[in-house]
Every structure is written in C-alpha cells, then in structure tokens.
Amino acid sequence: MCGISFLYTNMISRQYRRVIGLCLLAGLLFLGGCALVAKFYPSSDKVYARSMVHAPFDVIIVPGVPFDGNSWSDVMKLRVYYSLHLYNRGIAKNIIYSGSAVYSPYYEGRIMALYGAALGIPTEHIFEEIEAEHSTENLYYSYKIALKHGFKKIALATDPFQINMIRRFRKKHKLPIALLPLNFDTMSTYDKIEPVLDPSSAYDSSFVSLLNRESLLERLNGTRGKNIDFNKN
C-alpha cells in the first residue's frame, strides 16, 4: 500500500513539475515576445523622441484621407491640426499634404492644404502631392517632391497606426525620413474648429473610385508599394 501511495504521489509530482515547467516556458515565451515587439515596434513616445534629435525639419509629409464634400473626418482633422501644431512650434518649416482622389472625388492632398491654409499656415510653406493612392505612395511621392525643392531634413507626421504600416517600406527602401507619430493626449487639448472653405478647387471631375479601378489584390500590392515606378524621376 505504501509503495502504491509513493508511486501515485511521485506521478502527481511529475505532473505538477510538468505543468509548472510549461507555465514557466509560456511565461518566458510571452516575455520574450513582448521584448521582441518592444525592440522592433517601440512606443510612439520613443520614436518621437528619437526623431526630435534631428529637429527642426525642412518639411513634414502628412498623408491624406478621403473627403466627403461636406466636412472633414476626425482623422483628417487630427492630421491637419497636428501639422499646424508642428509648424507653430518650429518643428516643421514646410508641409506636404499628400493624396489623390482615391475613394471620393476630392484630391486629399489639396483639400488638406486648403484646411491648413485656413487654419493659418502660410501658403508659401504648403505643398501638395495629388498622385498617391496608397500610404507607401504618400511617403515616396512626397519624398521626391521634397528633394526637388531642396529639402534635406524630412519627416513623416501622422498617427502611430499609419506610421507602423509604413515603417517597413521606409526601411526596405532606405528612405532618410524621420518619424513623428502624433500624441493623442497632446492633440486632445486643441479646440478643433472646422474652418469654412470652398472645396471646389480640390474636386476631380474625372474621378473614378479606386474600388472600381483595382481589384483587391491590386490594392494590396499598392499598399505594399508595388505600383511605384522607382526609376521615374
């Protein structure tokens, strides 16, 4: 009886040791995964702090979002006000608003430029890029415009989610562009009033939605930068 009891107790002990071992392994894998994510996807505050070492910037790139013809979306409002924030603080000397007429018949880069000017940014410091249909194109086409104007210190200024989407493309093509993810707490302090403006100059009369021009696969390739002609000047 004692032998059976000993074997049973020993078996239970082995099971507990196995469970404890698996728990420890899972914990180590979890911590290792967190460390890996932290290494390759640092917090927005850290990314911002690293980039600010190189401030002020000759120009910032602000990707566009669709405009419905009536009022700007919360995302557009946030990005335009963020560009104003950076300009007013001397962090950005110039701004490139980027985006074609992708999902609505308004050039995103142009309508955002109109809003930026209406908020008080001098028009001589505002530039438009109206060919980009994907985030990767926002970055690359605006980068080429920046080079044509002789701007050397360039940064991307947008929300953290979009920056994480683009950073791999930026690294792959070795684009010397700093990253300035916006801080939602900072931007929440702004009283974001929508200026009254006439959007007609941003209207594309030949508009056809990207949904009707490209398949899902083509749009995914565009998101990855596959539509960009890197040999084009």
Per-residue pLDDT of 21-76, as tens digits, reads: 444 444 444 344 434 434 445 688 999 999 999 999 999 999 999 999 999 999 99
CA dist 157 and 62 (Å) reads 5
Q: What is the pLDDT of residues 85-103, one digit of tens each?
A: 999 999 999 999 999 999 9
Is 134 in contact with 166 (CB distance < 8 Å)? no
Q: Which two tokens stand for residue 223?
A: 């998101």
Number of independent structural domains in the chain: 2
User: Rounded to an integer, what distance in angstroms lies between the CA atom of residue 186 and that of residue 180?
Assistant: 13
Pair (26, 50) in one structural domain: no
Please enumerate in sequence order all residues whose Cβ is within 8 A of that of 22, keeping only pairs 6 or more positions apart, or say none.
none
Angle 174-187-198 (CA atoms, 0-180°, nearest 5)? 90
Q: Are residues 73 and 186 in the same domain?
A: yes
232 lies in some domain: no
Q: Which domain holds residue 84?
A: 44-223
Per-residue pLDDT at 17: 52
CA-CA distance, 47 to 99, in Å (whole number)? Answer: 24
Please, are residues 96 and 185 in contact by the beta-carbon 8 Å criterion?
no
**Same structural domain, 87 and 153:** yes
pTM (global) more than 0.75: yes
Looking at mean pLDDT, say which of 14-28, 84-98, 214-228 comes out highest.
84-98
